[in-house]
Chain A
Amino acid sequence: GESVGLHLPTLSVQEGDNSIINCAYSNSASDYFIWYKQESGKGPQFIIDIRSNMDKRQGQRVTVLLNKTVKHLSLQIAATQPGDSAVYFCAETPGYSTLTFGKGTMLLVSP
């Protein structure tokens, strides 16, 4: 979801649960999407990407789903661990050299 002011939407889960982080993108011409993870005080770290000719892509413990009809992207994290606690950003591009970033979702994992 989108943040309001300084407050990020937050998802709180228990260790071992599956997490789903959602992102609504804005540009219907976007054909490439990336998820990033950012830990406090660090730079964003690439997690997984997906092209518009795909609906689903899986990585290690992560799955990205793309619904172009409603311009929605989701990141699923299986068996969430405390080390997964971070802010997660989606980014989109219509094939240009720049990315447009969403405002992020904070994931809090409690033991």
Chain B
Amino acid sequence: DGGITQSPKYLFRKEGQNVTLSCEQNLNHDAMYWYRQDPGQGLRLIYYSQIVNDFQKGDIAEGYSVSREKKESFPLTVTSAQKNPTAFYLCASRTSGRWGNIQYFGAGTRLSVL
């Protein structure tokens, strides 16, 4: 069963706590992405990675960190510096190349603050 797996589905964060969201893909895609979605809003790019051991900031990277040690994994850490972390987080991946920019998404993780 190929695809993108995000876990957990629901996550709760306490004040001052760092939490890590998991994203794994078995599509052999080179590029991976993290987005944040707030109610009634579109997707905003947090970080992306086009190759292992390399990643770039998106539009709203402050308060977040990522790593890309393996091609199939791109975890996102929501740090205590992110003061408004409550949102729906989406991970995506795509194959390389200029054309065929279709990004395929996981089912998402909903993060709430306790």
> Which A residues fall within an 8 A CB radius of B?
3, 5-8, 32, 34, 36, 41-46, 49, 51, 89, 93, 95, 97-99, 101-104
B25 CB to nearest chain A CB (Å): 12
In the complex the two chains form, is B50's CB within 8 Å of A102's CB?
no
Return the contact of A101 from the options B4, B43, B48, B99 (Cβ within 8 A): B43
In the complex the two chains form, is A99's CB within 8 Å of B103's CB?
yes
In the complex the two chains form, is A103's CB within 8 Å of B42's CB?
yes
* Whole-angstrom CA separation of A51 from B98 in the bound complex: 12
In the complex the two chains form, is A44's CB within 8 Å of B105's CB?
yes
B98: chain A residues at CB < 8 Å are: 95
Q: Taking the complex as formed, is B58 at the interface, i.e. its CB lies under 8 A from any CB of chain A?
A: yes
A42 CB to nearest chain B CB (Å): 6
A36: chain B residues at CB < 8 Å are: 105
In the complex the two chains form, is A43's CB within 8 Å of B31's CB?
no
- Show 14 residue pairs from A and B whose CB-CB distance is below 8 angstroms, ordered by the A residue: A32-B101, A34-B102, A34-B103, A42-B107, A43-B4, A43-B92, A46-B103, A51-B99, A89-B42, A97-B101, A99-B103, A102-B42, A103-B40, A104-B42
Residue with the highest number of chain A CB atoms closer than 10 Å, among B33, B41, B110 = B41
* Whole-angstrom CA separation of A5 from B31 in the bound complex: 31
B3 CB to nearest chain A CB (Å): 10
| B3: nearest chain-A partner, CB-CB | A43
| B9: nearest chain-A partner, CB-CB | A41
* Whole-angstrom CA separation of A17 from B108 in the bound complex: 31
